[in-house]
Amino acid sequence: MAKQRVLIVGGGLAGLAAAMKLAELDIAVDLMSLTPVKRSHSVCAQGGINSVNDLTRQQGDTEYLHLDDTVYGGDFLQHQPPVKEMTVWGPKIIELMDRLGVTFNRTPEGFLDRRRFGGTLFKRTAFAGATTGQQLLYGLDEQVRRWETEGKVKKYEFWDFLGPVLDDNGVCRGAIGQDLTTMEMRAFPADAVIVASGGPGLIYGRSTMSMVCTGSAASRCFQAGAKFGNGEFIQVHPTAIPGADKLRLMSESARGEGGRVWVPRKPQDPRDPLTIPENERYYFLEDRYPKYKNLVPRDIATREIFDICVNEGLSVEKDRLAVYLDLTHIPRAELNRKLGGILEIYEKFQGVDPRSTPMKIFPAVHYSMGGLWVDYQKSADGGLQQGSPKNQITNIPNLYAMGECDYQYHGANRLGANSLLSCIFSGLITAPGIETLLKGSKQAASELPSSLFERAMKQQKTRHEGLLKRPAGGENPYLIHQELGDVMTKAATVVRRNDQLRDAVAKVKELHERSHKCSLSDSGVWTNQNVVFTKSLIDMFPLALTILQGALARDESRGAHYKPDFSFSALTATDPTERRRQAEAWCDNFDENNRKWLKSTIATWDGKEVKLSYEDVDTSIVTPRPRLYGLVGAEEIEKVWKERQVAKEQAAAKNGNGAAAGKPALAGAH
C-alpha cells in the first residue's frame, strides 16, 4: 500500500498540535493554511490557558471542579465525557508546553504564575504576559518545523481549502485547495482530513476575530453534508475597543489582574474619570455579583454592560456606548510585566495610555461555541477512549474537526482560557484515533482512481471561472458583506427577539440570492483576492442562516443565547412563605425548560435550506442545576433545588438504582 497521508486545514493551535502528534506517530501530514501558520488567529489569544495546578489543589481544587465550572458556565449544553478528559489532560498539556519552551510568567520562586479568569474561584490560568496564544503557537510551530525538516510535514501556506472530496459512498478522500498567489487548484488525496479552521467572525462583519476567520472552510464541509452543532451560541466578549476594520480584544486577563469595570453614577459625566470620587462611581459588576465580582462568566458581564449602556443610559460617552475598564490602581511595572501586550494595543489604536487613564470598552463578537458536529467514544471511567477513531470525527467518514470550528467543549458559553486548552487537547486526542483509522484502511487515498479528484476539481474550476466571467454592473460583494454583518449584529448578539430574528432570516435569504449576482472588480488570474472573498462570502450564508434559525427556534435563555421573553425572572416576594412558593415554581419551570431545551441543536443543509433537529446531551457526570450567578433569590432557589435532588437520590436508592443514587449531583456547586 502507498504511503498514507493526512491533510490538516488550519495552522492554529489545534492544527499544529495535531500535525505534531501525527508526525510523532510516523504519519505524513500536509498542512494547509490561508496565512503563514504564525499568523493564524490563535496568535491573537491573550489571556491564558486553564488547568488545575499545585496551588489550586491546596485550596481544594480538582479536575472534577474544573469540569464542573466548565459545564456550569456552559449551562450544561456540552457532552460531559470530552470535557472531563480535557480537564484531566489540562495539567499535562501545560507541562508539555512549558517543556517545549513556552515562556510562561513565573513567580519569584520560579513556579508558573497563575491568574483567575471568569466563572471560577480558583487561579487556574497559566499565562505568558498578555500574548499567551502567540507563545503557545510559536512553541508548537517549532516542533512542526522540526518534522518539516525530516519530511514528515509539508506546509501549504497561502492556500485556500475549497471543499472536501467525497467518494460515491460519502467517505472523505481528500480535498481541493487553491494557491492564493498563482490561483492554481490541485487535489490533495488524503486518508483523513482534519478541519481546524477557526471561527466564523466575518459573518458578523466586525468582530475580535482575524480577517481570515470567514467560517468558509466549516461551511464548505457543512454544505458537503457535515452536521453543524449549536450554531446559535455566539460569545460576545465584554471588553473590546472599536476599529474601522475590526474590533480589538482587551483580554479578560485585565480583570483577572485586578481591573475594575465601572461607570459614573451621573450619565455622561464630563469630568476626567480619575477625578471622579469613589462614592460617585458605580462598580456595577461588583455590586450585582459580590461572589465573582468582575470575573463573572462572559455572557453575564456582556449583558450587564449592555444593560448599563442601553437600558440605564449610563454610557461614559454620548456618541458611542462604552464603560470604563480601570487598571490605574495597579503598579505600572506589574501591568507591563503581566499585561504589556494588550496595553500596547490599546495605546496604539486609542492614543491613550491605559496605565494612567481608564480604558473605554464595550462588548464585541468574539467566539463561536457552535461548530461542526463531532463524535466521541466514551471510556469506562466516563472520559474518552484514547485511540478511538470516533474522537472528533464528523458524520462524514474520515473527516475530522477540531478547535473553534467544532462544537464539543463549551456548551452555551465558553469560560475564558478554556479555548486554548480545548484547541491543543482536541489536536492531541485526535491523532492516535486517526492512527487507528489508518491502520484499518486497506487502500491509500493516493491509490484511488484519479477520476474522483478530477470530478471535484472540475466543479471547483467551474465555480471559480463562472465568478470571473460575471458581467459588470452586478452586486458588490463588499457591500453585501457589510449588510450581512449589520443584520447579524443587530439580531443575533447580546439580546435576541423573535421578531428581529424572523426579519433577519428573511433579509439574509435575500442577501444570499443577491450574492449569486456579484460582479468582480478584478478578473485577473493572479493573486485575485476579489474572487477569493466572494466565494467566502457566498459560503457565509448557510452558517448565518444556521445561527439565526437556531436562535429563532430556541425559545429559552441559555448561556450566550439570551431572549428576554423566555428568561427566568428573579424572586420578588419578601414574605418567607411566598418566597418559598416562588422558588418552588422557579424550579418547576427550570425542570420543564430542561426537559425541552437541554439538547444540542443539530443543523443540516439540504442545498437550499437549513434543517434543524435536536440531540440529547450526555450529563452523566454532573447533574444539571440552575445557573444562578448573582440572581436575586438564588439562595432560596438553590435550597429548594438541593432538597429536590436529595429526595430524588433517596428515592433512587430505595428503588435500587445505585447509579443514579451515586451520581455526584451536588458536588462542585459553588
Q: State the cell numbers at 365.
A: 463578537
DSSP per-residue letters across 559-596: TTB--GGG-PPPP---SHHHHHHHHHHHHHHHHHHHHH
**Residue found by looking up cell 462604552 in the block:** 322
Separation between Cα atoms, residue 493 and residue 490, nearest integer Å: 7
389-399 exposure pattern, b = at least 16 Cβ within 10 A, e = fewer: bebbbbebbbb
Cα dist. 516→460, 593, 656 in Å?
15, 40, 62
**CB atoms < 10 A from the CB of 178, how many?**
22
Alpha helix (H) ranges present in 445-476?
A: 450-468
Q: List, in sequence order, the alpha helices (H) in 192-268.
A: 216-223, 253-256
SS (H, E, C) 397-409: CCEEECHHHECCC
Cβ atoms of 48 and 418 within 8 Å: the answer is no
Judge whether 164 and 396 are in contact, CB under 8 Å: yes
Q: Are 239 and 253 in contact (CB under 8 A)?
A: no
Question: In this structure, which amino acid lies at residue 357?
Answer: T
Half-sphere exposure of 159 (CA within 13 A, CB side): 26
392-217-203-598 Cα dihedral, nearest 10 degrees: -20
Assess whether 627 carries a catalytic annotation.
no
- Rounded Cα gap, residues 174 and 193, in angstroms: 6
Grid coordinates given for 348: 496604539
Do 317 and 291 form a contact (C-beta atoms < 8 A)?
Answer: no
β-partners of residue 176 are: 163, 187
Cα 596 to Cα 81, 614, 626: the distances in Å are: 22, 10, 15
- Identity of the amino acid at 33: S
Contact between 210 and 41 (Cβ < 8 Å):
yes
* CB 137 within 8 Å of CB 159: no
Residue 532: phi and psi, rounded to 5, are -65, -45
587: closest CA among 641, 646, 623?
641
Q: Which of 298, 355, 414, 554 is catalytic?
A: 298
Q: How distant is the alpha carbon of residue 600 from its chain centre? A: 15
Q: Please list the active-site residues.
A: 298
